[in-house]
Structure 1
Amino acid sequence: MAVPQERLDPSPLTVHGNTAAYGSLLTPDALAFLAELHRRFDGRRRALLAARAERQAAWDAGALPDFRADTRAIRENAWQVAPVPAALRDRRVEITGPVERKMIINALNSGAKVFMADFEDSSTPTLANQLDGQRNLIDAVAGTIAYRSPDGRNYKLAANPAVLVVRPRGWHLPERHFEVDGEPMAGALVDFGLFVFHNANALQARDRGPYFYLPKLEAMEEATLWNDVMAHAEAELGLPRGCMKATVLIETLPAAFQMDEILHALRERVVGLNCGRWDYIFSYLKTLRCHRDRLLPERGQVQMTVPFLKAYSELLIKTCHRRGAFAMGGMAAQIPIKGDEAANQAALDKVRADKLREVQAGHDGTWVAHPALVPIAMEIFDRHMPGPNQLDVMRGDVTVSRCQLLAAPCGTITRAGFDNNVEVALRYTAAWLDGLGCVPIHHLMEDAATAEIARAQLWQWLHYAGDTVSDCVPLEFPDGAPIDMALFDQALAAHTHRLRESTHPGAHRADDAARLLAQLTHADQLGSFLTLPAYAQLA
């Protein structure tokens, strides 16, 4: 279906799509602000993406990530990040979710200390989703956000809502609906630019930011770019220098070798790093995609207690606290299981164990995906972290080597695990194509990161089947049956049929999702991101 187009002045910034309802958002001044961001910074962004591709080519040829020799002085010298603002000194429980109106209200009212409003992994970047999300956040900042559901229930903000933090898209994602001088803008600059243009002064007047989570960084130079974008925006909007604050998600394997450097690049604005565990596992698979001795077992066996993830999380704590920054823990993706008390209790016990591990390791806070998990995580952090944070926990006992960060854990691939990867990748992709970026599947909240793990694992298992690879993860089922493309095609066809006949989100996009997943899985090279080819198929 053709997308109606509308041109908004001032040219040469063009907005494609039906924007009639967004005149108060896409004002001439706002669009001029976006155009200036693009002209100043997009050339650097493209150069940094090219540098990513060069590094990946070297890793594909046999090299391995390592700590940088040219930045040794940054790692070894004594320095601290700027003081953390009062609003962010206690972040013991944070909740995340897409920028949908009712979800924003529920998250802000959840009792969590922080709500991360997500334009990235839990949102599908249709034009309506992105612009509605911006408008919803304007109302949230103003305190006027409200929603009336189809069944007549009313939702509005309660007293003392969570502190708002916004996650724009990663540097790699384009926003095709916004063009400057004939070039598509970066999704990151659109998300950031619209939010700060409309909300920064109001937030600053209340000592509430603006605050951001920065995703998918791979190098300190990418953090420097964000720092310069924020400095420019502060100057243009008449804000105090350094008032914009950022927490960086360490969710790529290359970034784990540059934690000090990323903090240093953003030292005027950074307040912490976060263990983005699901994206980190995906990045491990993608970065080492040509290293056949570094396969991972099925996702359920790759918990934060396996050596390479334990090393990564402990290095993050040590690095952050040495520099005066917060070390945030990872996501609990479980959601309540209704009608099965035993299964629900087992799921909640996993959440408790995970949060207890984090607080005892020295993390300053953690993430949950569902409001029902907020009290559980809060109780554990309240009991074991009586102060607002654990910056005094220096973890001098931790020494992490390159080998530890790269060591693949042993494990197996079961038929159930293989089948689950096919189902999750298919169902999530179908829902994403239908405009929903956050999907409950088998009592877990799946987003782009977990779907990426599923399809990346399928690619590795299938393309390396029959090769001589590590004995640590046998490429066959425990009964000796082979893992091959015929099995994948059969499983994909069966799940596509079931999804097509179901009432699950995206059921009518089942065939489109299956074609895309088959194309990516049969391809000779593991694709960098599922969402890039999927973006071309959005209405």
Structure 2
Amino acid sequence: MSAPSPSSPAVVRARPVERQEEVLTEEALAFLAALHRRFTPRRDELLARRAARRAEIARTGTLDFLPRTAAVREDPDWRVAPAPAALEDRRVEITGPADDRKMTVNALNSGARVWLADFEDASAPTWHNVVHGQLNLIDAYARRIDFTAPGGKAYALRPAGELATVVMRPRGWHLDERHLTVDGRPVPGALTDFGLYFLHNARRLLELGKGPYFYLPKTESHLEARLWNDVFVFAQDHLGIPRGTIRATVLIETITAAYEMEEILYELREHASGLNAGRWDYLFSIVKNFRDGGEKFVLPDRNAITMTAPFMRAYTELLVRTCHRRGAHAIGGMAAFIPSRKDPEANEAALAKVRADKDREAADGFDGSWVAHPDLVPVARACFDAVLGDRPHQKHRLREDVRVTAVQLVAVDTLEARPTYEGLRNAVQVALRYIEAWLRGVGAVAIFGLMEDAATAEISRSQLWQWVDAGVVLEDGRQVTAALVREVARQELAAVRGEPGGWQEAHDLLLRVALDEDYADFLTLPAYELLD
């Protein structure tokens, strides 16, 4: 049997879905193959470096700023490229998956300046979702996404000038797309999502006065940012469009990336537009990397860890200082609350918390922030309007008062809160419900009044693993054991048993990723084996 040609296209290994041929054209499959052959080997090397760095953290129990890149941090003169007009004002950004046509229309119409069209944590990567997420964006730019729901309600796009600017988030480097192979190997999900979106939309976006803009998730080092930059250069040259047309905002949602913010911006400086401060993925990363650290790194209930915790303040203030020093936007975290039209009292209490959170971000110097629901757009906008006024951002606030040490970024032991039984139960409840929905192909899930995504399930199951491994004693005196977690999971499974869904499969996967001796780096890796 002859070896595949170096120029042979990617091969589709999936049952066809409706309109698939519009996305997986000959040109698209050839482009994905070119991306794969050129960049997947480096991706593999960088994943191996992640494992080596994690082993080093396990050995030393510490992290520090990189000595070998000190010159980048100390050079006062370099800046990222000026923001394009479409990304100059980012005071409110809404997030959500692109694989749902109704949500696509609602996000674009939401009044937010930016829509994070998510192919990552808010999307379960079924083949249908991967293809139709791309189709929905193609249709949106061609203004043919208007539709009528089965109940008769019509959804239509507003005039183009009123639509949110799309910033697309591909999958992280660790995930593969098993339905597409090149030379017998799956194409990385990151290259699949990026490549299809860029090829089909870059030129049209330029005609619309915008461009191909991206959010980069799960980045762990400046070397991974360098890989993305090389992908961007290759892709722009491939289409014959100017370098710097692509713009990327990097999510600083791993603890290792927090020590390399300047270096990440430097590697992407021709294409960088900002950094974002997340929450759940960041805490998940702390647990994952310091899971051998015993009590010193044990986190309390996830809902007890606010952005005002000292180590979280160190992280967010350093991010603002870093971004503004280099001319980049600093984007704040998520308001995940889903407003209720049935409980005005609870609604107002939750909205008050959202306002306080967004007021804090605006006062700290952030240039914008995320919301998960259209009803929160005016709430967040009012908070930033009060600080920004007519200015599109506040990059002039250099926050030179901020001084953050390496130790402060991981000072988890300064937290006074302790793990509770209710926190353990909530972790099981939320993770069980999210995993069940994800395995059905739904990546953005309303759970207990909050819009949750994969990061929620990651921090929930990671805390269970950490508490069991460290033998944590709860506030009521009970020790967290595998038996206790199994008993709580049994109770929660019984509570939802009458509801439709694959609850037993979700229960079993949750216990696997929460209790196995070998900690799974990402729960979506074993979950993907069960998807479709």
1:24 aligned counterpart, secondary structure: helix
- Letter of the structure 2 residue corresponding to residue 128 of structure 1: H
- Report the counterpart of residue 416 of structure 2 in structure 1: 410
Partners in 2 of 1:156 and 1:455 — Cα distance?
39
Per-residue deviation, residues 393-440 of structure 1 (Å, max 9, x unmatched): 111110000110010123112221110000111110111001001111
Cα distance, 1:325 vs structure 2: 0.4
Aligned length: 517
Partners in 2 of 1:498 and 1:488 — Cα distance?
15
2:96 aligned counterpart, secondary structure: strand
Cα distance, 1:500 vs structure 2: 2.6
Q: Percent identity?
A: 52
1:320 aligns with 2:320: no
Match of 2:193 among 187, 191, 194: 191
1:413 aligned counterpart, secondary structure: coil
2:297 aligned counterpart, secondary structure: coil
- Report the counterpart of residue 221 of structure 2 in structure 1: 219
1:488 aligned counterpart, secondary structure: helix
Asked whether the 8 Å contact 1:75–1:261 carries over to 2, the reply is: yes
Partners in 1 of 2:331 and 2:386 — Cα distance?
17
Partners in 1 of 2:203 and 2:434 — Cα distance?
37
Cα distance, 1:311 vs structure 2: 0.4
Match of 1:385 among 375, 388, 411: 388
Per-residue deviation, residues 431-451 of structure 1 (Å, max 9, x unmatched): 100100111111011100011
Cα distance, 1:143 vs structure 2: 2.2
Partners in 2 of 1:498 and 1:151 — Cα distance?
31
Q: Structure 1 stretches of 5 or more lacking a match? A: 1-9, 466-474
Partners in 2 of 1:11 and 1:394 — Cα distance?
50
- Report the counterpart of residue 453 of structure 1 in structure 2: 459
- Report the counterpart of residue 147 of structure 2 in structure 1: 147
Per-residue deviation, residues 2-33 of structure 1 (Å, max 9, x unmatched): xxxxxxxx955211112253112111111001
List aligned pairs for 1:170-209, cutoff 5 A: 170-209=172-211
Partners in 1 of 2:112 and 2:22 — Cα distance?
31
2:129 aligned counterpart, secondary structure: helix
- Report the counterpart of residue 3 of structure 2 in structure 1: none
Partners in 1 of 2:205 and 2:515 — Cα distance?
48
List aligned pairs for 1:54-93, cutoff 5 A: 54-78=52-76, 79-93=78-92
- Letter of the structure 2 residue corresponding to residue 28 of structure 1: E
1:397 aligns with 2:390: no
Cα distance, 1:282 vs structure 2: 0.8
- Letter of the structure 1 residue corresponding to residue 157 of structure 2: L
- Report the counterpart of residue 469 of structure 1 in structure 2: none
Residues 20 and 446 of structure 1, relative CA distance in 2, 3 Å threshold: closer
- Report the counterpart of residue 501 of structure 2 in structure 1: 508
Q: 72-81 or 12-21, which moves further after superposition?
A: 12-21
Aligned-pair Cα RMSD in Å: 1.1
List aligned pairs for 1:21-170, cutoff 5 A: 21=18, 22-78=20-76, 79-99=78-98, 100-159=100-159, 160-170=162-172
Match of 1:268 among 267, 270, 275: 270
2:181 aligned counterpart, secondary structure: strand
Per-residue deviation, residues 430-476 of structure 1 (Å, max 9, x unmatched): 110010011111101110001111000011111211xxxxxxxxx22
Match of 2:483 among 473, 481, 486: 486
Cα distance, 1:499 vs structure 2: 2.1
Asked whether the 8 Å contact 2:420–2:476 carries over to 1, the reply is: no
- Report the counterpart of residue 244 of structure 1 in structure 2: 246
- Letter of the structure 2 residue corresponding to residue 14 of structure 1: V
- Report the counterpart of residue 477 of structure 1 in structure 2: 474
Cα distance, 1:350 vs structure 2: 0.7
- Letter of the structure 1 residue corresponding to residue 72 of structure 2: I
List aligned pairs for 1:345-356, cutoff 5 A: 345-356=348-359
1:284 aligned counterpart, secondary structure: helix
Partners in 2 of 1:338 and 1:528 — Cα distance?
39
1:537 aligns with 2:530: yes
1:372 aligns with 2:359: no
Partners in 2 of 1:480 and 1:24 — Cα distance?
59
Asked whether the 8 Å contact 2:93–2:113 carries over to 1, the reply is: yes
Residues 396 and 198 of structure 1, relative CA distance in 2, 3 Å threshold: same
Partners in 1 of 2:502 and 2:17 — Cα distance?
27
Cα distance, 1:147 vs structure 2: 2.3
Cα distance, 1:144 vs structure 2: 2.1
Per-residue deviation, residues 19-63 of structure 1 (Å, max 9, x unmatched): 253112111111001100001100000000000011011112234
Partners in 2 of 1:164 and 1:70 — Cα distance?
36
Asked whether the 8 Å contact 1:141–1:203 carries over to 2, the reply is: yes
Per-residue deviation, residues 471-509 of structure 1 (Å, max 9, x unmatched): xxxx2232222222222111101111222312xxxx421
2:249 aligned counterpart, secondary structure: strand
Partners in 2 of 1:109 and 1:12 — Cα distance?
37
Cα distance, 1:224 vs structure 2: 0.6
Asked whether the 8 Å contact 1:123–1:438 carries over to 2, the reply is: yes
Partners in 1 of 2:103 and 2:497 — Cα distance?
27
Q: Structure 2 stretches of 5 or more lacking a match? A: 1-6
Asked whether the 8 Å contact 1:12–1:181 carries over to 2, the reply is: no
- Report the counterpart of residue 233 of structure 1 in structure 2: 235
Asked whether the 8 Å contact 1:427–1:499 carries over to 2, the reply is: no
Asked whether the 8 Å contact 2:9–2:30 carries over to 1, the reply is: no
- Report the counterpart of residue 19 of structure 1 in structure 2: 16
Per-residue deviation, residues 253-303 of structure 1 (Å, max 9, x unmatched): 000000000000000000100002221111111111111121110011110
- Report the counterpart of residue 517 of structure 2 in structure 1: 524
Asked whether the 8 Å contact 1:62–1:291 carries over to 2, the reply is: no
- Letter of the structure 2 residue corresponding to residue 184 of structure 1: P
- Report the counterpart of residue 4 of structure 1 in structure 2: none
TM-score, L = length of structure 1: 0.94
Partners in 1 of 2:126 and 2:496 — Cα distance?
22
